[in-house]
Amino acid sequence: MEFSIKSGKPEKQRNDCVIVGVYESGKLSHSAQAIDDASEGFIGKVLKRGDMDGKLASSLILHGVAGIHADRVLLVGLGKHDELTEKGFRQAVIASVKALAKTGANDVASFLAESEVLNNDGKKQDAIWKISHMVEAVNDASYRFDVMKGKKDKSEKEVIKGITKLEVHVAESDDNQQAKIALKQGLALSSGVSFAKDLGNLPPNICTPTYLAERALAMVKTHGLTVEVLEREELKKLGMGSFLGVAQGSVQPPKLIVLKHFHGKKDQKPVVLVGKGITFDTGGISLKPGADMDEMKYDMCGAASVLGTFKAIAEMDLPLNVIGVIPACENMPDADAIRPGDVLTSMSGQTIEVLNTDAEGRLILCDALTYAEKFEPSAVIDIATLTGACVIALGHHVSAVFSNQDCLAKEILSAGEDALDRAWHMPMWEEYQSQLDSNFADIANIGGRAGGSITAACFLSRFAQKYHWAHLDIAGTAWKSGKEKGSTGRPVPLLTQFLKHRAEKA
Ligand code: BES
Ligand code: MN
Ligand code: ZN
């Protein structure tokens, strides 16, 4: 989709459609009022007839409105006047995309960014916020994953459905330069989110550890990153016995993918993002039940979020030093696979009793966390679809944050609020640690059913003692199940916002 920033009168736009807001009270937005004036009160009449009530995210397409230049007018409900929230604004924007998805309106002008949007503190959001969120919401709603569908023979005359060009209208008084920057930022973030979604949605026979490494390497040319891929032999030399233990049950070779975006000051300590890259999780010898097992292709969404975030910050030219570390492998049952009862020696030297081979995420992450020490990081954040227990605790709306430093957790929560990609701070107190006691090794890889997402975090904390660290469990937020099954691209918005804040502070 093509986006641009414009300003001008709604009644004078020669697009396939102009999009304007109306409120529940029957109150018209500025642009709806302008069209009403140009059309001798047509919009007012339509509302009086009761075809459109202005409820948030409702919509009505009007054709052939007299006195204006566009072919159509799309009325979008903004709910109660003076009560449009940030979420509500995005819902209205998404409604406008959906309403036009099945029409022949391709080239459209949206005036929704003129609406007054209130944040959680009741303060008005500026044009920059509205522009970048409009771009993201539009791209999010129009995302399709159909590369794996067979080619249908399309007739040449087939009309393209849905928006292909969107003019984001801003007031004459708005700073055009700033608006363009906001557009660029919104596009960069969308591009990172789409990338993460694509990687997540790809089938596990294609999206293998090798494939992830190739996609990362391809970003060297397109996005100016440095990428290094460590193979099994090098991982052996590093002593990553835990990571290699998980990988040994698969014919797919493991990869440790290391990305560098060094656009900050030379001596600035980097932020390290570590992403769980299990390209398929069968559970291993502790085999998972069959129902919904296909969804375990999404067990690399932590890795995908790291790659997506790198794409976004590269396209934003973010002045910050950031390193990505992705341990990628497959968790398969095999004659060679690790067994419950096996003891593995991690790169840190700590030995691990594997009581359940399905708790594999922590086994690959712990070595990646030890590896991250060498970068002398200012902070390390790992992102993982780590536990089913996290979904039981928090559901599908927010990600869980665990940290060994409260102010880092707060920083992450606030980035999530700003990006509308929220997270919640979970406890990780000392009391939980003893659930990981083992009779045969330094630590067990599971801590029982009680507080399963917390003991998983406790396990990781043992390998993250040398730096400020946070862990994001995204098991509930990285993808959707059911009819809308698909990757969400979360938490790329949160991570990107976190890094933007860090760059501003630097
Ligand atoms: N990838 C799964 C976690 C998961 C399961 C995420 C279902 C989303 C939906 C992880 O590797 C796993 O299997 N965890 C186990 C841990 C248990 C054996 C302690 C779990 O959550 O059941
Ligand atoms: Mn598992
Ligand atoms: Zn897993």
pTM: 0.97
Q: Which helix (H) or strand (E) holds 231?
A: none
Among 80, 184, 269, 288, the active-site one is 288
Distance 286 CA to ligand 1 centre (A): 11
Topology of the domain comprising 189-505: Aminopeptidase (3.40.630)
Cα of 146 from ligand 2 centre, angstroms: 28
Tell me the C-alpha to C-alpha distance, in Å, between residue 465 and each of 120, 370, 413, 461: 35, 9, 21, 7
Q: Cα separations (Å) of 199 from 208, 305, 365, 489?
A: 10, 9, 19, 9
- The distance in angstroms from the start CA to the end CA of the chain is 34
Q: Would you say residue 415 has pLDDT above 90? A: yes
Alpha-carbon distance of 25 to 141, in angstroms, equals 27
Q: Helices 42-49 and 30-38 sit at what angle, rounded to 10 degrees?
A: 110
Asked if residue 299 has its Cβ within 6 Å of ligand 1, the reply is yes
What are the C-alpha distances in Å from 123 to residues 33, 76, 481?
A: 25, 23, 35
475 Cβ closer than 6 Å to some ligand 1 atom: yes
Q: Where are the domains of the chain?
A: 2-145+164-170, 189-505
pLDDT in tens, 421-442: 999 999 999 999 999 999 999 9
| CB within 8 Å of 152: residues ≥ 6 apart | none
Which of 387, 474, 477 is the pocket-test mutation for ligand 1 (most atoms within 8 Å of CB)?
387
- pLDDT of 157 above 90: no
d(CA 162, CA 104): 6
| Cβ(387) – ligand 1 distance below 6 Å | yes
Residue 493, helix vs strand vs coil: helix
**Strand pairing class (486-487; 479-480):** antiparallel
Same topology, domains 2-145+164-170 and 189-505? Answer is no
pLDDT tens-digit profile of 86-121? 999 999 999 999 999 999 999 999 999 999 999 989
Q: Are 36 and 19 in contact (CB under 8 A)?
A: no
What is the sign, positive or negative, of the torsion defined by CA atoms of 190, 191, 197, 201? positive
Cross-strand bridge partners of residue 18 = 73, 109
Question: What pLDDT digit, counting tens, does each position of 224-274 carry?
Answer: 899 999 999 999 999 999 999 999 999 999 999 999 999 999 999 999 999
Helix (H, G, I), strand (E, B) or coil at 346: coil
What is the amino acid identity at position 350?
A: Q
Across the range 303-326, mean pLDDT stands at: 98
The interaxial angle of helices 452-461 and 361-372, nearest 10 deg, is 30
Would the CB of 273 count as within 6 Å of ligand 1? no
- What span, in angstroms and rounded, lies between the C-alpha atoms of 72 and 50? 19
Mean pLDDT of 401-413: 98
Q: Determine if the peptide bond prior to 204 is cis (ω within 30°).
A: no
User: Does any ligand 1 atom lie closer than 6 A to the CB of residue 302?
Assistant: no
Expressed in angstroms and rounded, the spacing between residue 480 Cα and the centre of ligand 3 is 16
Peptide bond into 491 cis (omega under 30): yes
Give percent of the chain with pLDDT exceeding 70. Answer: 99
**Ligand 1 neighbour 446 (Cβ under 6 A):** yes
- Determine if ligand 1 sits within 6 Å of the CB of residue 435: no
CATH class for the region spanning 2-145+164-170: alpha beta
Any idea which ligand is nearest the CA of 478? Answer: 1
Which position among 362, 462, 500, 502 bears the catalytic label? 362
The alpha carbon of 26 and the centre of ligand 2 are apart by a number of angstroms equal to: 53
H or E segment to which residue 83 belongs: none
* Ligand 1 centre distance from Cα of residue 387 (Å): 4
Pocket of ligand 1 contains residue 370 by CB under 6 Å: no
Give yes or no for residue 154 having a pLDDT over 80: no
- Considering the chain, what is the average pLDDT of its residues? 97
With a 6 A CB cut-off, is 115 part of the ligand 1 pocket? no
Which of 358, 363, 436 for mutating ligand 1's site (highest number of atoms within 8 Å of CB)? 358
436 lines ligand 1 (CB under 6 A): no
The two three-digit tokens of residue 250, written as one number: 């698969």
Closest atom of ligand 1 relative to the 389 alpha carbon: 21
Annotated catalytic, 130?
no
* Ligand 1 atom nearest residue 295's Cα: 9
pLDDT value at 159 more than 90? no
In this model, does residue 152 exceed pLDDT 70? Answer: no
362 is catalytic: yes
Predicted confidence (pLDDT) per residue in 439-470, tens digit: 999 999 999 999 999 999 999 999 999 999 99
Structure tokens at 469: 């660290």
Q: Which atom of ligand 1 is nearest to the CA of 356?
A: 18
CB distance 62 to 16 below 8 Å: no
Rounded distance from Cα 431 to ligand 1 centre (Å): 22
283 C-alpha to center of ligand 3: Å?
Answer: 7
